Every structure is written in structure tokens, then in C-alpha cells.
Amino acid sequence: MKGSFAALSGAMVRAFVRDRTAMFFTLLFPLMFLVVFGGIFKDAGVSKSRVIEIGQVSILDNAPAGAFDEVLEISRQSDRAKALEAVRQGDYAAAIEADGDRLVVHYSAADQVRAGVVRGVLQSVVDAANRDGAPQRFTLATEQVEDRSLKAIQYFTPGLLSWAISIGATFSAGLTLVEWRQKKILRRLRLAPVRTATIVGARVSVSALVALAQLAVFIGVASLPYFGLKLAHNWWLAVPMVLCGTLAFMSIGLVAGAVAKTAESANAIVQLIVMPMAFLSGAFFPLDNAPGWLKSVSNLLPMRHLVTGLQDALVRDGSIASVLTPMGILLGFAVVLTAVATRLFRWDDV
């Protein structure tokens, strides 16, 4: 019994070591993230948060010059409604106003990480002010700019949905292309009385239906009372955003499928593209503490625009105009990369 167990275990270990794909994704791929993100964020401190001062806030105005320069970038706005709307749209981390000796921080439930940083800074300011006088004078209060039923799920749903759509669209296009080429299905389709546009249209339609099903499932699950997602009034704008995102990531999959010779290599290429992009696009966590150059790189990635577009549509109650830019960028990616895939396309492996 012991000899059989040892022999079987040894065979499994040898098979694992010989499988280069398994070795890469089990050991090297996670290690790559450790090295990359460890190097990027090793010197990252607390990033500046943009806040709005509504009217006169004495505790801020009387602070020593430069007291908040390292952590807060303060703008002033006399119109309270406009200030709260700017926070609701994600342009600012918080809006601060004075109600007598009560300091009120207005924040968005869709971005509680940045709001938490601001609350921490202002709490230290209030504590310092109270130590200078007796008895305790100032207090700090927080209020959401949205309805109180909103929770952190407001941030995670658009990001994770973007990742799911990108994975589904990229894999469906890339792996299908490789498998059809290996099994000679592409050659048969080429000789069959079927137009290329029909084949492409069918593939796009199926991928679009899958993406819309993902949208429905994510919204359905996140809207359960346990999670508490509250959709914005213009949530339906997520539908065209999802379709544009699907086309963009299908084009990435087509490039991967055109380059790869096997399903395993196509899988590896897709993983190398989509997984780092998810981290760098803010799909899993905010990029507030990332260096400025990394944020610039993030803006070049299609998933970043899919994430921000879905945030505007699903939770920030953005207008049609607010999603037109990310939709246009995603369609631009689709056009350019589809043209690249067309140049690299092969009907068979020969």
C-alpha cells in the first residue's frame, strides 16, 4: 500500500514538473504579481484625496499653512448641491461643511476607501483642536451623498462584472479560433456555402448574449438584501457599455487566437493579458495609492474604461453623455485590434 502510494505520488509530481503550463500558472505567475506589485507599491504612501470645502469651515481655514498638503487637495465651492453632486459622481473623495462646531463629511458609498482616508485625517484634526481647548468642542459626523441603503457592493459590482465580461469575451474568441483551426473546422467553413459575415455575426451574437446574461446575474445577485446593491436611475446604460466591452475584449481574444498555435498557449496569452489588466484597471481595488505613472498606464487599458463606464451607469447615475467616452474608447480598441487580428489570421496551421 505504501509503495503504491509513493509510486503514484512520484508519478504525479513528475507529471506536474513536466507540465510547463501548470508550473507557470502555479508558481511563476503568482510570483510575477508579487514582484510587480511589491515593486510598484513599496514606496507608495497615502495619496492625496481631492475634497470640497462647502462655504467656510473654520477648523480647516484656521489650520497652519500647508497642514494638509501631503494628504488633501482642497477646493472650495459655495453651492452645496453642486458639491454633493461632484462627490456622487466620483470627482471628489468627500465634501466637508461646518454645522456649528460639528464637522460633516459627505462621502459616496461607491468609493468608501478614499472616504475612509479623509475621515481619518479630519478625525485627527478634530482631536487636535479639542486638545487645545476645554471642554471638548468639535465633533465629526459622516453622511452619505446617496441613499443610506447603499453599501460597499456599489464599488465591487461594476469592477468584478468588468473582469467577468473581459474573461468571457476574450476566452470565447481566442480559444474558439484555435480549436476550430486545429480541428479543421475553419477550413470546412471556408469551403462551405456560408458567408464569413454570418460566421462572425453568430460568434459575436453568442458572446453578446453571454455578456448580457452575466450582467443580469451580477445585478440579480448583488441586489439581494444580503448584499444590498441599489441601482442608479440610468442603470440601463450598462447594457450598451457591456456590449461595447464585449466587442473590445473579443478583439483581444482574436489577436491571441491568431497568434497561438494551441489551446494551451492561447489560454496562457489570455491570462497574461486579462489578469494583470484587471489589477491595473481598478477592477479589484481602487488605485488611489498607486503612483501617478501607473494611473496613466491604467487609462490606456480598455478594462479601465469598462470599469468606470459601468460605475457611472450602475451606481453613479451618470448621464448618456458620461458613458459615451468610455464606449467610444472601447469601440476604438475593437476596431484597431480586429484589424490586427485580420492581418494575423490563418485558416489552418499549415
Residue 68 has which C-alpha cell? 494638509
Q: Is 103 left (phi over 0), alpha (psi -120 to 50) or beta?
A: beta
pLDDT at 246: 94
Is the per-residue pLDDT at 132 higher than 70? no
Beta strand 94-99 with 49-54 is: parallel
Taking the C-alpha atoms of residue 39 and residue 26, their distance in angstroms, rounded to an integer, is 21
Question: What residue ranges define each of the domains in the chain, with the CATH number in brackets?
Answer: 49-144 (3.40.1710.10), 153-344 (no CATH)
pLDDT at 35: 59
pLDDT at 295: 80
Cβ–Cβ < 8 Å for 229, 154? yes
pLDDT at 290: 67
What pLDDT band is residue 7 in, cutting at 50, 70 and 90?
A: low
DSSP states along 25-53: IIIIHHHHHHHHHHHHHTT--PPPEEEEE
Tens digits of residue pLDDT in 206-261: 888 888 988 998 888 888 887 777 888 889 999 999 999 999 999 998 888 888 88
Kindly list the distances between the CA atom of residue 189 and the CA atoms of 79, 128, 193, 199, 214, in Å, as whole numbers in the listed order.
63, 74, 8, 8, 29
What pLDDT band is residue 150 in, cutting at 50, 70 and 90?
A: very low
Tens digits of residue pLDDT in 101-123: 788 888 776 666 666 777 777 77
Per-range mean pLDDT, top range of 47-51, 211-215, 331-335: 331-335
- Mean pLDDT (whole number) for 154-163: 84
DSSP states along 182-196: HTTHHHHHHHSS--H
Cβ–Cβ < 8 Å for 309, 326? yes
H-state helical runs in the chain: 2-18, 20-23, 29-41, 58-61, 80-88, 112-131, 153-182, 185-191, 196-222, 238-259, 263-280, 292-298, 302-314, 320-344
pLDDT at 185: 74
φ/ψ (deg, to 5) at 143: -140, 135
Is the per-residue pLDDT at 273 higher than 60? yes
CA angle 85, 91, 93 (to 5 degrees): 90
Stronger pLDDT, 87 or 240, i.e. the higher one: 240
What pLDDT band is residue 194 in, cutting at 50, 70 and 90?
A: low
What pLDDT band is residue 330 in, cutting at 50, 70 and 90?
A: very high
Specify the pTM. Answer: 0.65
Taking the C-alpha atoms of residue 350 and residue 184, their distance in angstroms, rounded to an integer, is 11
The mean of the pLDDT values for the chain is 77
Kindly list the distances between the CA atom of residue 245 and the CA atoms of 164, 212, 217, 295, in Å, as whole numbers in the listed order.
11, 11, 17, 20
